[in-house]
Amino acid sequence: MTRPRHPYLDRPGARRPGPIAFAHRGGAADGLENTAAAFRRAAALGYRHFETDVHATRDGRLVAFHDPTLDRVTDARGRIADLPWAEVRRAEVAGREPLPLFEELLEEFPGARWNVDIKAAPALAPLVELIGRTESWDRVCVGSFSEARVARAARLAGPRLATSYGVRGVLGLRLRSYGIPAPVRPGAVCAQVPEAQNGVPVVDERFVRTAHARGLQVHVWTVNEANRMEALLDLGVDGIMTDQLETLRAVLTARDAWN
């Protein structure tokens, strides 16, 4: 395991250093993704690192939700950015669980650490403001597919904010793993990546070694099969994000790495 370079990556109460188990959207396999009910279930299973996404409503409220629209997983319709919170709050995931504000999740789970994907630019400033107002600097890592978006968050917040790389940053790190001197943003604390992108492998021994040499942890998403989890852990990755919470817990327990 690479030594954490930010308190977000610490493991308070852990018996020994080991990989971080992330509950992806709280554990999306049961269909209640990004709801307080999903995160409560993850917490009951022993998860302490949660992954979620944020969008801003028309009136600037920060909703923990993956899609830009309500259509796929709720009983409502419409773009979150076009709707006021008073309307969005009436939507229910799977017809039974309300959408939470990210601030509500921070409050309900004070011992949890949150990996937050900024899904759209209007959510950026409200998220940085919320982290600062709640003094959650040690509890939140900000990521996005957009490297420019994450870089802007880092500029607004300064070194107190933990960030991961966007696509461009990951590409730079991947090129460096082949000895190509590509630029990478300083200040990130981890690379959060898929196993492969468009059929091209991202995570291999070379990539992990290069990231670790820069003091970066490697977290891989979204891994739901036990054999893939085992292979990645054998490569030395520092964290796995999964929808299948029981599967990852069983794999880590068998390796005496469940903390």
Q: Is 49 a catalytic residue?
A: no
Distances (CA, A) of 35 to 31, 45, 55: 10, 16, 14
Q: Quick one: which H or E segment has residue 216?
A: none
SS3 219: strand
Residue 180 has phi, psi (to 5 degrees) of -90, 125
Among 216, 259, 224, residue whose Cα is nearest residue 240: 224
Rounded Cα distance, 155 and 157, in Å:
6
SS3 122: helix
Among 197, 199, 220, residue whose Cα is nearest residue 208: 220
Q: Is 66 a catalytic residue?
A: yes
Residue with tokens 């190509």: 180
Distances (CA, A) of 97 to 6, 69, 92, 120: 34, 16, 5, 23
Rounded Cα distance, 99 and 134, in Å:
20
Which of 6, 24, 49, 55 does the annotation list as catalytic?
Answer: 24
Active site residues: 24, 66
